Each structure stands twice: as C-alpha cells, then as structure tokens.
Amino acid sequence: MSFASKAITYFCNLELPDKSLSGIEIISPYDSDEVKSVVKKFFRKYYDDSNERIFTIGINPGRFGGGLTGISFTDPVALREHCEIENNLGNKKELSSKFIYSLANKFGGTEKFFSKVFLTALYPFALTKDGKNFNYYDDKNVSKILSKDIIKNIEFQISFGAIKDFAILLGKKNADYFSTLNNKHKFFKDIIVVEHPRYIMQYKLKNIDYYINKYLIAINK
C-alpha cells in the first residue's frame, strides 16, 4: 500500500475515544463526509507513493486548522489557495497554517514540501476547553489519560512510511513529553525541536524569516 492509502485508511476510520475529560471536549473532524473527501484528495495528490517522509509532529489539532479539515496545520483557506483543493469547510484561518504554508512556499511549493515532509500531531483529535484550543499537556491528568492513545497514534502513523533517523517536534513542552515516550519506545533515533508555529506567529512575527530558515535547516538535516 502507498503512503496515501495507509493514511486515508487510518484517518477516515478514526473514531472518537470513549473517554471523559472533565471540562474538555474532544472533537473529531473525521465524522464528516466532506472532511473524508478532503483527506482523500489531499493524500492522493501529495502522498500517492511509497516514499518515506520526515515526520514533523505537533501537539493536537487546532479547532480552525486540522480540527476542521482533518489535515494537520491546514485550514480551509490554505486547502483552496495553496493545495488547490476546493472544500465547503468555511473560511476560518489559523495562524499555524499560515506559517506552515509560508514555509512550504519557501521550500519550493507544496508538492516539493509534501514529497519530503509529513505533518501530523501526537494526538489526532482537537481538544477544547471553554471554547478555546487546549493542549494535551496543559493538564497532567489529561496527558496521562491520553498517553496510550498517543502511543498508538504515533505507532500506527509511523507505518505510513517514516524516516526513523529523526523527527521534528514542534514546541518545547510537546517535545519534552514525547522524548520520554521516544526513549521508551524507540520511535525515532533523534528528535529535533523547533518553536511551534503558533508561538512564532503570535510572538515572533517580526523574525518569521529566521524561524522559517530554522525549519528548513531541520528538514534538510
């Protein structure tokens, strides 16, 4: 099976876990036929081969990005404007998505970028609290409850076709959490840590070129 076939089978069959997280909502975009259609088009366009990719791993999807489209760090507008995939998922924009597609364009365009990089998240579902994005590591009890699902998620996605020499982890807290799991399960030989796109866009926008270059250096290791 191709990378695309494995990814489509996985994501289009994901079901919400039967878990109770006090005050936190778990959101799956994959219940939507529209999202499943988008996921199929995206992976068939960029991943319809058996080549291995550099895994670039975020936290958990944002409600306006991957939590809406089913594609990590990709909002509905980026899908249309950068991936040329029409959709009826609205016009919400996400800061992280804007950074990632600026990076992809600097890399040489989406086709070249996705031929080398696979964007994903440690936890595949969006988490919200009081209507705002919530990170799995913001509550130790939540991260403990979700740990088995996170491990299964990464184990399965690695089977799509991962370069196992190293992975790029987005965000220090995310990397710290994953490092413990990686030391135990030996998913990747090495971990490269870069600042999270949301942090860059919110606090370091004036230096965006510096951070894009930092990502490019990591990808081209």
User: What confidence tens digit (pLDDT) does each residue in 182-207 have?
Assistant: 999 999 999 999 999 999 999 999 99
Q: How many CA atoms lie within 13 A of 215 on its CB side?
A: 29
Chain segment 81-139, per-residue pLDDT in tens = 999 999 999 999 999 999 999 999 999 999 999 999 999 999 999 999 999 999 999 99
In angstroms, the CA 213 to CA 62 distance is 24
What pLDDT, on a 0 to 100 scale, did the predictor assign at position 31?
A: 92
Chain segment 34-49, per-residue pLDDT in tens = 999 999 999 999 999 9
Check pLDDT > 90 for residue 19.
no
Check pLDDT > 80 for residue 218.
yes
In angstroms, the CA 55 to CA 120 distance is 7
* Structure tokens, 220: 């081209």
Check pLDDT > 80 for residue 20.
no
In angstroms, the CA 104 to CA 10 distance is 24
The packing angle between helices 172-185 and 140-161, to 10°, is 60
In angstroms, the CA 114 to CA 55 distance is 11
Return all residues near 28 (Cβ < 8 A) that are at least 6 apart.
Answer: 14, 15, 16, 125, 126
Check pLDDT > 90 for residue 174.
yes
The pTM is what? 0.96
Instruction: Quote the mean pLDDT of the chain.
Output: 96
DSSP tag of 124: S
In angstroms, the CA 147 to CA 178 distance is 10
pLDDT > 90: what percent of the chain? Answer: 95
CATH placement of domain 3-219 = 3.40.470.10
| Average pLDDT rounded to a whole number, residues 157-179 | 98
